[in-house]
Amino acid sequence: MKVTLISIPVLDQEKALQFYTEKLGFIKKKDMPLEGGNRWITLVSKKAPDGIEILLEPAPLHFEPSKVYQEALMEKGIPYTQFDVDDVGAEYERLIALGVEFSVKPTVMGTFKFAVFNDTCGNNMQIVEML
């Protein structure tokens, strides 16, 4: 068994695709049409094109518990998941310049530095750097 995919619930797949590729810098790997206007969209990191794919899943639009869970995390400021970066400070400045909104500025916690931003598709996301 191996891990190949993680899914991120998004409220708008096209908007998410633009945000995750144009602002965060992921690369689109697959984009297949499904029924009802939904798509199977996966992304990979530029640094690991053979690595784990992110699925931009429209679950909150079709499955109420997913919507409830996403809204509860957002309300409490809890990140849905996190991405590793080499330098949280530099990435924070780069994303701020692109208009990305942060709820937590770069913060040191023990042997890690992290920050939390809004992915504009219903989620808080965390970037993390190991110190």
User: Which single residue is written with the structure tokens 């869970």?
Assistant: 69
Site string for another protein, 8-27 (x = CB under 8 A): --------------------
Cα 49-62-126 angle, rounded to 5 deg: 45
**Spatial distance between the Cα atoms of 33 and 101, rounded to a whole number of angstroms:** 31
How many helices (DSSP H) and strands (DSSP E) are in the chain? 4, 8
The residue from 124, 125, 127, 129 that contacts another protein (CB under 8 A) is: 124
- Residue number, 37 or 110, with CB nearest to another protein: 110
The residue from 3, 36, 76, 97 that contacts another protein (CB under 8 A) is: 76
- Residue number, 13 or 113, with CB nearest to another protein: 113
Assign 107 to helix, strand or coil: strand
Q: 14 and 64 in contact (C-beta within 8 Å)?
A: no
- Residue number, 91 or 129, with CB nearest to another protein: 129
Q: 125 and 119 in contact (C-beta within 8 Å)?
A: yes
For the segment 88-117, give every residue that binds another protein (CB under 8 A).
Answer: 103-104, 107, 109-111, 116
The residue from 58, 60, 79, 106 that contacts another protein (CB under 8 A) is: 79
Residues near another protein (CB under 8 A): 2, 49-50, 76-79, 103-104, 107, 109-111, 116, 124, 130-131
